Every structure is written in structure tokens, then in C-alpha cells.
Amino acid sequence: MKAAVVILSDPKNGLEESAGRAFNALSAAYDFKRQGEDVTILFQGAGTRWIDELTKADHPFHALFETVKDKVAGVSCACASVFGATETATRAGYELVKDNPVPGTPGLPSLQKLTREGYTVLSF
């Protein structure tokens, strides 16, 4: 089994629902990794803002993020640009993914490519 976990929730809206979605996304990735399954994580949409939060040592999800950060495939280039997360994503060392050349954007991750490669896409 192969899973692609896509984090879309916005940490800046202050809702427990957004935090719950990010936590459950990281927990799902951890579960796949722990079981020896192929898992990859992408940050897309307003979810690109999570990198700045998750890399802070005092964030409640930081320890969990540390266990799966090696599974992060990258951050949507276009979304990071729109949501002001380009600098934090690159500073943290994550690739800006742009293999889906959506017109009028610098590109987004290709979910079609992931599904073609056998990944089940889980979005949070």
C-alpha cells in the first residue's frame, strides 16, 4: 500500500478543526511509516503555512512532525506563493513542488502523477 497525505488545513484560522485535521494527517503518516508502508506528505493550499508552525520546538505537534518529516515530499509552489509560505518552506529545506503546471501559476503537486504511481491520496 502507498499513501499520499495532503495537508490543506490552515493553521492561521484558529479553529480546533484545522489543528485536528493537521494532527490526524501527521498521525496517519506516522501509522503508515510505523507499519513499513510507503507514505509521502505534501503541504498544499493554506496548509503550506503549517511548515512554519510544525518546525517550532514548542508546538504541540512538533514531536510528531519530527517522526515523519523525512516523508515530506514538499510544499506546493503556487500555494506557498499565494499563502506567504515560500520563505519558511525553503528555509526549512523543503522542495517547492510544481509538477502540475496549472496555467497562471508556478505549478502545484500533481495528484494525477501520485495516483498513477499507485498512491492513495488522503486529504486533510
Task: State the pLDDT at residue 14.
Answer: 80
Residue 110 is part of a domain; what is its CATH number?
Answer: 3.40.1260.10
How does residue 15 score in pLDDT terms, banded at 50, 70 and 90? confident
The total number of structural domains that make up the chain:
1
pLDDT, tens only, 29-75: 999 999 999 999 999 999 999 999 999 999 999 999 999 999 999 99
Domain containing 43: what range?
2-123
Mean pLDDT for the stretch of residues 96-111: 97
Q: What is the side-by-side order of every strand in the sheet holding 96-97?
A: 96-97, 72-76, 38-43, 2-7, 120-123
110 phi/psi in degrees, rounded to 5: -95, 110
Task: State the pLDDT at residue 65.
Answer: 98
